[in-house]
Structure 1
Amino acid sequence: MNYSFNFNAVSFEPLLKGLIVTLELTLAANAIGLTFGFLVALLIMSRIAAIRLPAMLSVEFFRCTPAIVQIVWFFYCVPMLFDVYLDSMTMGILALGLNLTAFNAEAYRAAIQAVPREQLDAGIALGLNPFQRVLYIVLPTAFRASIPVLLTNGIGIFQQSALVAIVAIQDLMYQGKSLATETYRPIETFTVVALIYFAVSFPVTQIVGYLERRRQLLMS
């Protein structure tokens, strides 16, 4: 192979700007996913079919279709069908946030089902109404139990945020593609981009592993 590597051609300034956009997308999507994921999980567990079925269908839609299709659909179909025009960053956050909501809803649902019945009975004995039982008993218990899965889903959406580059959001992947085109150094550029994604993702995966081990020790 006669290819001569030259990593000095890779400018870090545009990549860091793209990383900031990627982190903004990730944090906003996680805020949506953490909040609405729990609410959707409650809807899925409703005894009323008219409430439960639409929630289940929405979750299955986002879980069973590619994220890239969802992003493109939001960017091109929502304005045409609903006459709603939002900036590209907002649309990207909504697409990623709703995708994450579906996966977090399943994590919350499993955790809610694992809440000990004794805790709910204690809430009833204390005179807590259903809303208070959800707020003070179910939510804290389910959230703690699902933290490893929520963190895994969160880092997954950080990686999937690279897909918004196809709709011209200037995230890390978009900046990498632009830089590779300008410098004619795609190998070096995308190697650096991959290392940046790894540098952000790896510590979180280690935290997830630690929390899983700690949870298993507490349960044993």
Structure 2
Amino acid sequence: MNYHFDFSFLSGSLSALLGGLRVTIELAIASNLMGLVLGFLLCLLVMSRWAIVRWPAQLFIEFFRCTPALLQIVWFFYCIPMMLDVFIDPISMGVLALGLNLTAFNAEAYRAGVQAVPKEHLDASVALGLRPWQRTVYVVLPQALRNATPVLVTNGIGSLQQSALVAIVAVADLMYVGKSLATEAYRPLETYSIVALIYFALSLLIGKSARVIERRQDAAGH
């Protein structure tokens, strides 16, 4: 292999990479917040006793789980403005597409977490006279969140990585900036290696932080 690595061209492009990284982090944080909140609400709809509520929610989940995330992003960017005559800025549209995708996956994680809540705890909350919304907020949600944390973290990391797909619709995230730099400098190996290392570092940091929080929750519960 006679290829010689040369990272000197990145010295003048650091600000562009940091700008792309900022957009990526914004997309990841906003879509994860959306997925965490709406995922639990969707979980409650899926577990409803009424079929008229349960079936549309299940259809939503199956649609987002059974179609490629790339196709969903392209559809949101191009089809929604054409169909509804609504134009949203690219970052908000990216958050919407990624967030709804994550909502579907998180709903299933929450459902498994809710089903793992001991029936005795629910019976005790009924005996204490808690209203349905109080049982949901104070009894079901904390335990479901704890049970689902490993899967939610995995989904969150996956959402961070999937945010790179918005580059195909010209959102100036880390991947898009990296692609532009690689084309301009004719240094794709160096550029994409740096971009990959940044994604790896972010994912590793999230995973390690989540494990620390999980261990503290387990210690507090014993």
1:22 match: secondary structure:
helix
Amino acid at match of 1:204: I
Partners of 1:47 and 1:145 in 2: CA distance: 23
1:5 deviation in Å? 1.4
Runs (4+) of structure 1 exceeding 3 A deviation are 206-219
| Equivalent residue runs for 1:78-157 within 5 Å | 78-157=80-159
| Residues 149 and 214, structure 2, Cα contact 8 Å, conserved in 1 | no
Instruction: Kindly indicate whether the alpha-carbon contact (under 8 Å) linking 2:106 and 2:155 is maintained by their aligned counterparts in 1.
Output: yes
Match of 1:32 in 2: 34
Letter in 2 for 1:75: F
Residue of structure 2 in register with 1:204 after alignment: 206
The Cα of 1:149 is off from its aligned counterpart by: 1.1
Find the aligned partners of 1:13 and 1:87 in 2 and give their Cα distance. 22
TM-superposed CA distance for 1:214, in Å, is: 8.2
**Partners in 1 of 2:216 and 2:86 — Cα distance?**
46
TM-score, structure 1 as length reference: 0.94
Q: Which amino acid aligns with 2:111?
A: R
Aligned sequence identity (%): 63
Q: CA deviation at 1:43?
A: 0.5
Deviation at 1:212, TM superposition (A): 7.2
Query: Partner amino acid for 2:73?
Result: I
- Give the Cα separation in 1 of the matches to 2:208 and 2:131: 39
Alignment of 1:16-95 (within 5 A): 16-95=18-97
SS in 1 for 2:130: coil
Corresponding pairs, count = 220
Contact residue 148 and residue 211 of structure 1 kept, 8 A? no
Out of 178, 181, 187, the position equivalent to 2:180 is 178
| Residues 87-133 of structure 1: per-residue CA shift (max 9 Å, x gap) | 11110000000000001000000000111111111111111111111
Q: Where in structure 1 are there 5+ consecutive unaligned residues?
A: none
> What displacement does 1:215 show?
8.5
CA 1:148/1:211 → structure 2, altered by over 3 Å: closer, same or farther?
Answer: farther
Cα RMSD over matched residues? 2.0
Name the counterpart of 1:2: 2
Q: Distance in 2 between matches of 1:83 and 1:166?
A: 22
Q: Distance in 1 between the 2:78 and 2:91 partners?
A: 14
Normalised by the length of structure 2, the TM-score is 0.93
